[in-house]
Structure 1
Amino acid sequence: MKFKSLFFFLFFGTLIVACKKEKTTEEYMINSWQTTYMKIEMPTYEKSDSLYVYEDKFENNPELIAQSTYNADGTFKAWFVNLKGEKISESSGNWSVENDSLFVDFFYNNRDIKVGYHIEKTEEGFTATSKFDWDNDGEFDDALLMKTKQIKIQ
């Protein structure tokens, strides 16, 4: 009887130790990322009745690559890397997570930006989707889809 009890506790103890707790979205975001795909659909582009779609797959040695780092203190930095490998157009701001949503607040291109993204973790990084006024026409009807991969920053 004692052997069965010992085996029972060893078996379940091993299971508990072997189970790896999945990172929360907040823990997952504390890292460095590179955008690998972006698509923005703007149905009322600059107050017109025309749909404008911006799409970039960042293939074939693109002129600019977007990268960012999210810090544990709730701050982040974002920038572009040009063909020479130089960081340009750096901006910084604050970020937070609520459930599966990432909220960022930063100043870029003479504009205060406060936007929320629905985040889905992927094997490489994460996918983010949002509705926002990306074309600055006063309508929060522009849909963004962004895919990222995790990177190491030297």
Structure 2
Amino acid sequence: MMKNLVLIFLTLFMLSCSTKKEEPLREEELIGKWTNLSLLVTMKRLEKEDSILHAKEGEWEKVLKIKPILSEFKDDGTFKAQYSNLDEEIIKEDEGKWFIRNDSLVIVIDGHETTYHFTVNNDRVMYKAHLDWDGEGHKNDYYDGVQIKVKE
């Protein structure tokens, strides 16, 4: 009987140690201003080879021909993204709402919802999502991006 109790205890102990306990994502981790560091987008092509857009850290302006996007998440649930050309003139702004659902960031702009799985590591946030990057009507393009928190 004692052997069985020890075996059960050891089994339960090992299971509790091996189970990864994830902290719930907190909205306050995202509040503030962020700017892009890197980007990798793989666009699926039905009859051709996939198209890849890759801007490594330090190559954003060279590859994309714009300044890194400045995104701001406010504590009232609103969101703003500013796109600037290389002369730092604002060429586009997106505004909308944001919230966290499970392990994902949801951004709603003009009634369109986009969901990004994300992880925060100190002053960096990593996003992964399936999007319609190429505008062909299907969310079959894979987005992998990194932003860094702007020090104010």
Same fold at TM > 0.5: yes
Is the 1:25–1:100 Cα contact (8 Å) retained in structure 2?
Answer: no
Give secondary structure in 2 for the equivalent of 1:27: helix
Aligned to 1:101: 104
Q: Post-superposition shift, 1:124?
A: 2.6
Q: Post-superposition shift, 1:36?
A: 0.3
> CA offsets per residue over residues 101-154 of structure 1, 9 Å max, x none?
0000114xxxx642100011123320000012211222221110010100035x
Separation (CA, whole Å) in 2 of partners of 1:23 and 1:152: 25
Runs of 4+ in 1 over 6 A off after TM superposition: none
- Alignment RMSD: 2.3
Q: Counterpart of 2:29 in structure 1: which amino acid?
A: Y
The question of 1:54 aligning with 2:53 is answered yes
> CA offsets per residue over residues 41-74 of structure 1, 9 Å max, x none?
0122xx5433111111252582421111001111
Q: Counterpart of 1:35 in structure 2: which amino acid?
A: N
Separation (CA, whole Å) in 2 of partners of 1:49 and 1:40: 16
Identity, % of aligned positions: 26
Aligned to 1:82: 85
Aligned to 2:139: 140
Farther off after superposition, 139-148 or 49-58: 49-58
Separation (CA, whole Å) in 2 of partners of 1:75 and 1:139: 26
Aligned to 1:128: 127
Separation (CA, whole Å) in 2 of partners of 1:81 and 1:96: 25
Give secondary structure in 2 for the equivalent of 1:135: coil
Q: Post-superposition shift, 1:92?
A: 0.5
Give unmatched runs, 5+ long, in structure 2: 1-22
TM-score, with structure 2 as normaliser: 0.72
Is the 1:36–1:58 Cα contact (8 Å) retained in structure 2?
Answer: yes
Q: Counterpart of 1:40 in structure 2: which amino acid?
A: V
TM-score, with structure 1 as normaliser: 0.71
